[in-house]
Amino acid sequence: MGYDFHLGEEGPRLIEVNTNAGGAFLNAVLVRAQQRCCSGTQRVPGASDFDAAVIAQFKSEWRSQRDSGRPRSIAIVDDQPAGQYLYPEFRLAQQLFQKNGIEALIVSPADLRYETGALYAEDKQVDMVYNRLVDFALEAPSTQPCVRPGWMEAPL
């Protein structure tokens, strides 16, 4: 879990409790680096299995909507992704997906379009969206390209 605070005139104020992976990719890299360089460092349970666990999670999410297979492509989506504080994390996720045979694009909602029954980014079909937006319900007008028409009325 992650806790987001904003600093104001009256001090820090909790604005959000995140249960998503914000910071997880960066922390995994830091833990691995520390364990390699610092003898006697306590081992962090699961740190060595992080990559496999992430890929397994995305495959599981895919299969929860389909009978089999795995995504061929993933769009990592956030507003102005290159300007985001966690952009380096998006790049780590992209590298992990690509290392595991899944094409990964880092895009904003404006880069997406839904046509002929599929989602596209940069003229490439997108099988799955890794949503890093704070509009988790995809309700804002800017996120509408991420939404398959009628998605609330019928299962994928």
Q: What CATH number was assigned to the domain covering residues 2-146? A: 3.40.50
User: Can you tell me the distance from the alpha carbon of 85 to that of 127, in angstroms, rounded to the nearest whole number?
Assistant: 26
d(CA 76, CA 91): 9
Record the tokens describing residue 15, joined without a space. Answer: 């604005």
Per-residue pLDDT of the chain (156 residues; tens, 9 = 90+): 567 777 888 888 887 766 566 788 888 888 887 777 776 666 666 667 889 989 998 999 999 888 788 999 999 999 999 998 889 999 999 999 999 999 999 999 989 888 888 899 989 999 998 888 876 666 777 776 666 655 544 444
Q: What distance in Å separates the CA atoms of residue 84 and residue 88, rounded to the nearest whole number?
A: 9
Domain extents in the chain: 2-146
Residues 93, 84: contact at Cβ < 8 Å?
no
Task: Give the span between the Cα atoms of 81 and 15, in whole angstroms.
Answer: 21
Phi-psi region of 26 (alpha: psi -120 to 50; beta: other; left: phi over 0): alpha
**Which of 103, 106, 98, 96 lies closest to 76, judged by CA?**
106
Q: By the 8 A CB rule, do 74 and 102 touch?
A: yes
Listed in sequence order, the residues at least 6 apart from 115 whose beta carbon sits closer than 8 Å to its beta carbon are none
